[in-house]
A and B are shown apart, each in its own frame.
Chain A
Amino acid sequence: MAMTMVEKVIARHGGHDEVVPGDIVECPVDAVVLLDLSFVESPLRPSRIARPDAVSLVFDHLVPAPTVEDAAAQSEARGFAVRHNIGRVYDVGRHGISHQVVLEDRLARPGEILTCNDSHAIGAGALNSLGRGVGTAEMLKILADGTAWFRVPKSISVELTGKLPHRVYPKDVALALAAKLGSVENCCLEFQGSGLADLSVEDRSTISIMCAELSADFAIFPADEVLKEYVGSGYLGAAVWPDRGAVYEREVVLGLGTLAPFVALPGRIPGNTIPVDELPGSVRIDQAFVGSCANGKLSDLQVAAEVVRGASVAPGVRFIVTPASQQIYLEAARLGYVADLLAAGAVVTNPTCGACIGLHMGVLGPGETCITSSTRNFKGRMGSPDAQIYVASSATVATSALTGTLSDPRL
């Protein structure tokens, strides 16, 4: 039977010839990413780990530890990793946001299933794999016995064509999809089309990660030449392509060349995004943030530096830049981007989730307005529930940091 990419991965892992949407299948998990957060949000630990070599412990949400409780939890995490022989530990100084680390170290491979206790695990779709966010209880189970259940979602095909115009970015692709599709709960998104050639694996992860905001179960890219170059030919054995005749619930086409810079209005993302040049009236900002797993990449720091080089952040505006990994931070420093940002009056922090999750490194106060290239804008997400959060590309954020108002980066 003809299957989509996601159907194939689940069928193969579950030992079935075929699966259809609605089936529930138990699958072995190939890669497990455990976070510093786990050791804070629950007092429970697995008493044994089924496959310690498949587990990576990443310090990302609370780095460096903002409270005594977090510091104690992280000490415990280190001891836990040693006791259980955990395969890889990304400790402070050699760390990054987990979903970026997954890319940099190819922790998920084409055709594999990765689980992580964070919703943006979906980003592993850029590697042609299924990235499944899970909660605390499920993470305990997966660590202890190595399996998880999956409900097969319906599949939506997203065909990308053409090339992105100047100052329009993968983040804008995701925000445009949010306008076109709205929320797609119980569906996965499968990308294809000639436009993929214009998107690096890093670009694809921005899009996959943002698909979490559409409530997509998975957001997967194929194992094309771009991915083959990224992972190397040795890892392609289990790569998946959709079969000819695979059944899609819906098929949409998005012409990259037709896109403009987009912005999500405060409160939510699906069905709540518009082109920046359609904003009614001027929006003053207090904080501009470039960072997160979606947009703390080297290309984000590059464009932010390019935009602000030789100029100054507007008075009264805080421009905070948080690279997604130590590797990115180091490279950005070597290339001069960090100096450009500092000279303009921006703050460049260590890698961490940071302002995106509103626990430290740029918390918003009551009545403040933030333009961010991070992932979410729920009420209270980045601090005070009385703050307003707009989501856009890093170019839009950096341009806005200079003007002090939400601004089109093409101008």
Chain B
Amino acid sequence: MRMTGRCWVFASPDISTDLVLPNIALRGGPGSERHILAAERPGWSALVSEGDVLVAGRNFGTGSGRPAGLALHGLGIRAILAESIAELFFRTTINEGLACLECPGILDLVREGDTVQIDLATGSVVNTTRGGERVARPLPPLLLNILGAGGLIASLRERGLVEESIRP
């Protein structure tokens, strides 16, 4: 599974899911996207295009299990590459169908605006703008299958295991 995308770089360590998806945006609703990572970088969410890649530092996604990955996917982010990733964010984001890889050295490899080509199965990350490569922790077949299906919910729907709320 390969993908290519333009990089946005958030180098600070310890970016929490609260920073990605603050309480004010937690209930969703129109216009809530503008709060995504706004405390870290005001106005960023409006700049994201479909297919973009978020590059981050150490301990990305620390904290709460809120649907931060889903929120980033909603903006158009299609892959996350970070120096290291908190496991709850990793599993929540993969399960929601957004590719997420731990890639030590990624902050040395890319600058904002660079394009990268990512191979999810081998972990190869190539900077196609200025050259260079790093190897991310590759995703095992189980997780590649989840991504390939578009996330857990898509496969649960296919198996007839989820339904919509009947609340009026």
Instruction: Please count how many residues in chain B sit with their CB below 8 Å of the partner chain's CB atoms.
Output: 46
* B30 CB–A CB distance under 8 Å: no
- In B109-147, which residues have CB < 8 Å from any A CB? 140, 142-143
- The answer to whether A44 and B163 touch (CB under 8 A), given A183-B58, A268-B16, is yes
Closest chain B residue, CB of each to CB of A50: B161
* A225 CB–B CB distance under 8 Å: no
CB-CB < 8 A to B32: which residues of A?
none
CB-CB < 8 A to A76: which residues of B?
165-167
A267–chain B nearest beta-carbon distance, Å? 8
B162's partner among A41, A44, A119, A359 (CB-CB below 8 A) is A44
Complex: A183 Cα to B67 Cα, angstroms: 21
- The answer to whether A26 and B160 touch (CB under 8 A), given A134-B92, A137-B95, A379-B19, is no
Complex: A229 Cα to B165 Cα, angstroms: 43
Query: Number of contacts between A and B (CB, 8 Å)?
Result: 148
B112–chain A nearest beta-carbon distance, Å? 22
Complex: A41 Cα to B160 Cα, angstroms: 21
Q: Verify A138–B162 contact, CB threshold 8 A.
A: no
- The answer to whether A47 and B163 touch (CB under 8 A), given A135-B95, A380-B23, A381-B18, is yes
B68–chain A nearest beta-carbon distance, Å? 9
Closest chain A residue, CB of each to CB of B151: A137
The 3 A-B pairs at the shortest CB distance, nearest first, are namely A135-B92, A144-B161, A378-B18
- Assuming A138-B92, A376-B63, what are 4 further A-B pairs, CB within 8 angstroms? A44-B165, A135-B67, A140-B152, A378-B63
- Please give the residue numbers on chain B whose beta carbons come within 8 Å of chain A beta carbons, in ascending order: 13-14, 16, 18-19, 22-24, 26-27, 39, 58-59, 62-67, 69, 84-88, 91-92, 95-96, 102, 140, 142-143, 151-153, 156, 159-167
- Please give the residue numbers on chain A whose beta carbons come within 8 Å of chain B beta carbons, in ascending order: 24, 26, 39-41, 43-48, 69, 72-73, 75-76, 117-119, 133-138, 140-141, 144-145, 149, 151, 153, 183, 185-186, 212-213, 215, 217, 268, 270, 357-359, 376, 378-381, 383, 385
